[in-house]
Every structure is written in C-alpha cells, then in structure tokens.
Chains A and B, each alone.
Chain A
Amino acid sequence: KQEVTQIPAALSVPEGENLVLNCSFTDSAIYNLQWFRQDPGKGLTSLLLIQSSQREQTSGRLNASLDKSSGRSTLYIAASQPGDSATYLCAVRGFGNEKLTFGTGTRLTIIP
C-alpha cells in the first residue's frame, strides 16, 4: 500500500528566502507525481505534474524534482512571497491505478 509523507508539517520563513518542501513515498512504482497548493477552506490548485520518466519540472518560481528510486520529490520555491502562504500537498499515482495518494501536506507561512 502506497504511503506518502511530507515533512515538516509546518514551515515559517521570512519573505524573499528560497525554500524546499519534501515529499517521500514508499512504493517507487509510480506513474506520476503531482504537487498542489491549497488555501484555507478551498480546493486544490495543481502546481506541477512530473511523469515517472522525468527528473524535474519548472513553472515560474517553482521547481519540482523527482527521484523515483529513492522515493523522494522536492518542491523548490524561489524568492518566497507572502502570497505563497498555503498548504502544499504532494500526491502520487501508481501504474494501472487512477487514484491519487496524498500526503498530509506542509503548511507554509511566509513572514513579511
């Protein structure tokens, strides 16, 4: 059974700093991995999707990497802004399996 872990559960950093969020998963046989952002009381916004054959994906100030063999992914946020404050969730999809398995998220606070 796939298990996804995100550490730390919460993180506070001053505005302008670069930061890294971590995601680990127990079964390396994944089809893809997706990073999401969730604001309080809202739905999920897709940030980046990495296919199992890819090593990284970039979108603006965000860069996600994937090391399937070690069961790890990182989300790098450059030059953080107060608007980046949210909960960040990673989720993996296995082969032949349509469901996403989520971590419990990292609650990020950017201090102005």
Chain B
Amino acid sequence: DTGVSQDPRHKITKRGQNVTFRCDPISEHNRLYWYRQTLGQGPEFLTYFQNEAQLEKSRLLSDRFSAERPKGSFSTLEIQRTEQGDSAMYLCASSSEQNTEAFFGQGTRLTVV
C-alpha cells in the first residue's frame, strides 16, 4: 500500500479557469476527507465521504466547489471559476470505519494568478 495519493502535486491556473484534483485513498479505507490549508494555518475541513456518499460539507465549500467519489474509490475536487483566494494547499485524507486515524496525502498546491 502506497498511502494516500494526490494528483497533481502543483497546479498554476489563471483566474476564472476550472481546475480538478484527484485523490486515491488507502485501498481499504471507506472514509475520505478533503481539507484546505493556507500559509501559516492549520487545515480546514471541506467535505467528507463515506463510501460514495457525501455526508458532510463545510460552509467553506462554496457553489464553485464540487466533490465526487464515484464507486466509493477515488475522489475528485473541482473548483470552477477560480479566484485568487482559492490559492491554497488542498489535502486529502482517508480512514477506515474501525480505526478513525486519518492518513493524509502530500497535497495539491494550487496557485491562482
């Protein structure tokens, strides 16, 4: 098992463009989380999936953000019409139902210019 994998590691985009990030969780984990981290801050919760069901969304997740987890495996996070304020590290984590220890990926660093 290679742990939680995120792709791409870095993304630079122009304001107004759409971007999509991918997260592959640890294979036996049915829970998947997205967090956002800005410089000097701790990660902030965005959304949570149990299998393919999106069970919780933060108010931080505006209408421009959408996340999916088809078939309960990998997940995608899409940001439409990106703004400079969206520049951050987007982190994905996974855990199992039996052991709630969260394991994080290396993150996707988004820069909106």
| Chain A residue with Cβ nearest B47 | A99
A43 CA to B42 CA, complexed, in Å: 11
Instruction: Point out the residues of chain B lying under 8 angstroms from A42, CB to CB.
Output: 106-107
A98, B42: Cβ atoms closer than 8 Å: no
Residue interface bits A20-64, CB-to-B below 8 A is 1, else 0: 000000000001101010000111111001000000000000000
A77 within 8 A of B: no
A43, B45: Cβ atoms closer than 8 Å: no
How many pairs of residues, A versus B, come closer than 8 Å at their CB atoms? 58
Of B11-19, B70-78, B80-88, B95-103, the one contacting chain A is B95-103
B104, A43: Cβ atoms closer than 8 Å: yes
Residue in contact with B42 in the complex, picked from A31, A41, A93, A103, CB distance below 8 Å: A103
Question: How would you classify the secondary structure of chain B's contact residues: helix, strand, loop or mixed?
Answer: strand
Interface size on B, residues (CB 8 A): 27
B91 within 8 A of A: yes
A88 CA to B92 CA, complexed, in Å: 18
* A-B complex: 10 closest residue pairs judged by Cβ atoms: A102-B42, A99-B45, A44-B104, A43-B106, A49-B101, A43-B104, A43-B107, A98-B48, A104-B42, A102-B43
By a beta-carbon cutoff of 8 Å, the part of chain A in contact with chain B is 4, 31-32, 34, 36, 41-46, 49, 89, 91, 93, 98-105
